[in-house]
Structure 1
């Protein structure tokens, strides 16, 4: 924007009324899709599926936090009731502040949702006066006091005397109201609030003082991250609050991520003795994750699935990085978005009826994609020659077959998860958990390979054949309870057969049948002959006879039924727990790009920065930055040029030589004549640009200053150009 004025002056340019529209997720999705067909349908299915997963996740998290939140609500109600009655001094000392120590675990990203739910519940059922503070906004005592008062009173709060004088000049302005930052101000505000609420109550005469009025809700202050607070600031704040506890019904909630001993570490005894602390323990993050996986992943209700490698990446990030269930759910969301964005056939990843309708609407290019799927090619190879020809040439016939395959894929998922739970129930009772302690471990194993091909599965079956009668009956009863509610013909038949086996086991007599005497004689007679003098051949013959007699030993009725039950379970596993890759059209529902998920969720910032400095074209998309030999163009940004030059140096870099080389490159980029005297000379502009680029490299951690030589910097990277 320019002006036509001749004289110097200050000009104001008002922004245009039209605001630039921020691109939405739908715009990114539609413009970046791999295939143009059904883009809107795919985005709609993705959005609906994610909304359903998000709603179920929120309900699940509310259920998991309900117990701890209800306990906290009961604690706040009890403390409020105790204070409002005459037995306040008998319950606790007059200077003690009721405090709830809430141990949430190290999954810090999940704490915000818990505290938000807690704050909402407190405001709805206990007290409207609730304030939440974090350590990053309370570096000093005055900042902590200011945040607490602002969030409780809903008005501006002044801290310094200069600010008070400045705001006193605007005191008559109705739009500018502020109060002094002190707890006495909060007490006056609280008394005015309680008097107003009591006077507004219809049919009630006020004849008692404020303290005896039952309409005195507590003032709750939530410290979200106790470990991060400055101990001195926290100590001073508690000491000040203890002086006002007779006038103000204060209550604290400490959010603790590590251990309750943090309170003793941060607060000395003289301060912690002013708190009446009660401990509350939340559900562990691993149990939370197990519940989320059980309700969202191990269910046939959601057609979208993750393959073994993607599941392993998400679980590994959870276990080795943040323990955050919230981030795990975000990872599922990322995989969901990437699947519908990159897979044109994801239009079939929806409910059964909708998927069957979408099959009939597939275009010619979509049908060709189906023919190119690895799972479909394996399916075609197993068919008769005429059927192979029809599937390759007849589009109408292909659609009919695809409908049948979609139904079979739904049946596979409906039968897979109940059998998975049954196998997990049986194997978790075994010592050392041969197939994993958590069901997610068994699920990942089944996704990667047929579970019956593992040695751990064979050892688990051998251990199950050693179970006692009562243990086996208990495990089979749990399997019956798992299969009973499943609406599937195969699962109903399995449930009936398992019930029959269970009934036979319960009807067995407790007395073990005696072994036949002939078997005993056959076992002992060869042993008697071992005492006689014999040769090696005779000894081998005798041992073989003993082995055959042991094999011919008659099994008891319980052992027969036990083997029959375990063989039945083994048959169910081999029938229904085949890997998803063996199912035709599994690519429609399963997302398999683990590298994409790892790159987005488990990023390596240093590698990304080095890639950007080496190849700025891929980030800036400027054609002048394209180079063939992998070198950086002289037209690249200053930091890229300086970075490339520093790779050619040793451990110590001479700043003057570095500046001279930079000036030469920049002069060539500006198009100066190499033969001129000014070519490569350092001026003020080049010097300033060089200093800024070097400072940026130092900030990024590529170089550092050194005391060995004053005009040198030390290089912190490895390798050369």
Structure 2
């Protein structure tokens, strides 16, 4: 929009009356998708599945934090419950102005602390007090900033008022308040005094769920990052007013409780009445999440071994963040439904059966192109092969059966996997891993019963004692009883039968009696010759003796479990149509989550077409395009230089390339204009900001190159 006026002025341009079309998430999902068929249905399925997964993970997080939050509530109750009724007694109980302090060890997964602290604040505001303040180190560089944040959050706390007049009298304008602990004390005294003077029918300053004389709770999210001087000043000032209003401090600790004594001298830490609380370990939390999301047939979407290993490696070697693991799982879910057209069948069995009936011919062709389905067709007789490859109706009937078989496979897979983990998780040196996720990855990768680790684990299981074997069988029976699979009824009966035989008192351990008698023989006084003879006889008798009833039963149990493993823990790649439910693009996931900034920068500067997708930016390898951005031209020119780069030569080369784009008839004798000079200075400054060059004192008209080679 422009004007034809030659005078200066203010012009009003009316907005376009045409309504702009707002793109939805489903539009972005189908945009640029090569397999856009059923994209809307796939998007809806992905969204509904993710909502269910998110609800389950949030509920799991709440259940895991329940014990920690209950302990914190008990701590608050014992600290300040009777502040109102027995103020003098409460004051006497606070030795030398001690402030009740809860040191909560949250673990090294710092990125998850925000969620835990947010949930803790919500629990306290719902059940204990409306006065909950959360402080971060970056918001409190000084004691003045800390008190300001504290007072602003307190004055904005939700308090139930009966009228606008009461509300106006209880709130203090932030512009008129002096930020100090004395102001905080006066504010709390006015609030509680207002609550005391209200009549019972009109008394609604605090919610009915809040405690009487509710405490002021201050949560320090990242105590390690706070300045020591700020903490010391706040604690010292607050200790002088602790008898005037109930104050509780909660320290969020990522490392160790000893950090409190490193930040605070003894004269300050002695003003705190500290109680230690421990949250659930992030590794245990991850195990619970994997059990909830992957080791169940509740959710049809699954991860392949390589994809799961990428997520676990990022967790173990980068951040220990369970929330980032869940976000990575969400990315896998989205990528699977976006890139796999047959993911429309990744849903509940009954819904999948309906969707199979309405598959188009192109979708049937997508099924025929699946590697697992092609292997399935090769195993069929010739007549059946013809039907599967040419008749869509016959294909859909077969797909019904295959999807049901895949669902049944999952129902049997995970209970047997848990039983195998129960047998191997307590073995010496953990040949199949200590965590169930390690065993799960091993079973996904290949036939686990053909590995050396499995053989060594079976050998160790054959040497388990009676009480150990009995405890493991009891655990396996509980696992199979709690599983929804109806096909494991016979294994459950067999395991219960073995367990009853082990508990039968008539089947006495004969080998134990023999070992006791042999031990008595050895304890007799004898010489070296007779001792050696006795030991040889014992060794020979053990080699020739028959197996006891317990040993025969133990061999039978191990053989039965080995058969369950071979029948139900086959690799996923052996299952037909596993591509429908399993996401296996580990390289795509690694590109999104494992950032490689050095490679990305070199690619962007050396080949800008890779990101900008402009046809004019295409150029041969090694050549410098005159239409490329200035920083790309300067970057390619600097690759041709040595350790020191002459700025004058660099500028002349840059000008030559730029002028070739502007005027193909220009000669090298043309003067470098100011615009070209400014563009060069800007490009060099950007390269210096990115860390490719730096100024040097060796030569004033040179810069030093900080990288070497092609990138």
Q: Same fold (TM over 0.5)?
A: yes
For residues 668 and 104 of structure 2, the distance between their equivalents in structure 1, rounded to whole angstroms, comes to 73
Q: Aligned residue for 1:198? A: 196
Alignment of 1:303 with 2:300, yes or no, is yes
Stretch moving more, 463-472 or 307-316: 463-472
The CA distance in 2 between the partners of 1:15 and 1:446, in whole Å, is 62
Q: Is the alpha carbon distance of 1:568 and 1:720 closer, same or farther for their aligned partners in structure 2, counting shifts above 3 Å?
A: closer
Length, aligned pairs only:
666
Correspondences of 1:180-579 after superposition (within 5 Å): 180-202=178-200, 215-507=212-504, 508-512=506-510, 553-579=545-571
In 2: Cα distance, 1:374 partner to 1:72 partner: 55
For residues 630 and 355 of structure 1, what CA distance do their matches in structure 2 show?
53
Are the counterparts in 2 of residues 96 and 242 from structure 1 also a CA contact under 8 Å?
yes
Alignment of 1:620-659 (within 5 A): 620-629=612-621, 631-659=623-651
Structure-1 residue corresponding to 2:611: 619
Please say which of residues 656-665 and 348-357 is displaced more in the overlay: 656-665
**2:166 matched to which residue of 1?**
none
* Between 325-334 and 459-468, the greater mean CA deviation after superposition: 459-468
**CA root-mean-square deviation:** 2.7
1:718 correspondence with 2:698:
no
Name the residue aligned to 1:120.
Answer: 122
Matched, 1:66 2:66: yes
Alignment partners' CA distance in 1, 2:511 and 2:218? 71
Structure 1 390/515 Cα, relative in aligned 2: closer, same or farther at 3 Å? farther
CA deviation after TM superposition for structure 1 residue 513, in Å = 7.2
User: 1:577 and 1:695, CA in 2 relative to 1: closer, same or farther beyond 3 A?
Assistant: same
Counterpart residue number, 1:583 = 575
Query: Which residue pairs with 1:130 in the alignment?
Result: 132
Matches within 5 A, 1:8-47: 8-9=8-9, 23-47=23-47
Whether the 8 Å contact between 2:346 and 2:352 is mirrored in structure 1 is: yes
Q: Unaligned stretches of 5+ in structure 1?
A: 156-173, 206-212, 517-545
Task: Give the match for residue 684 of structure 1.
Answer: 674
1:286-339 CA-to-partner distances (Å, cap 9, x unmatched) read 000011111111000100000000010000000000000000000100000000
* Alpha-carbon contact 1:422-1:479 (below 8 Å) kept: yes
- 2:129/2:211 contact within 8 Å kept: no
Q: Which residue does the alignment assign to 2:518?
A: none
Q: Distance in 2 between matches of 1:288 and 1:513?
A: 43
- 1: distance between equivalents of 2:502 and 2:566? 24
8 Å CA contact 1:486, 1:492 repeated in 2: no
Q: 2:604 touches 2:610 (CA, 8 Å); kept in 1?
A: yes
SS at match of 1:237: helix
* 5+ residue gaps, structure 2: 158-171, 204-209, 515-537
Provide the C-alpha distance between the structure 1 equivalents of 2:142 and 2:680, rounded to a whole number of angstroms: 39
Most deviating of 611-620 and 289-298: 611-620
Contact residue 702 and residue 717 of structure 1 kept, 8 A: yes
Q: Secondary structure at the match of 1:346?
A: helix
Q: CA deviation at 1:618?
A: 2.5
Normalized against structure 1, the TM-score is what? 0.88
Contact 2:282–2:320, Cα closer than 8 Å, also in 1: yes
Q: Is the 8 A contact 2:221 2:251 kept in 1?
A: yes
The corresponding residue for 2:111 is 109
Q: Distance in 2 between matches of 1:42 and 1:696?
A: 43
Alignment of 1:700-715 (within 5 A): 700-715=690-705
My pick for the range that moved more, 693-702 or 8-17, is: 8-17
2:94 to 92, 95, 120: 92
Q: For residue 152 of structure 1, what is the aligned residue in structure 2?
A: 154
1:529 matched to which residue of 2?
A: none
Alpha-carbon distance in structure 2 between the residues aligned to 1:187 and 1:488? 62
Cα displacement string for residues 58-94 of structure 1 (whole angstroms, at most 9, x for unaligned residues): 0000000111111112222222225432222332235
8 Å Cα contact 1:197/1:215 also seen in 2: no
Q: Which segment is superposed worse, 372-381 or 28-37?
A: 28-37
Q: CA deviation at 1:260?
A: 0.6
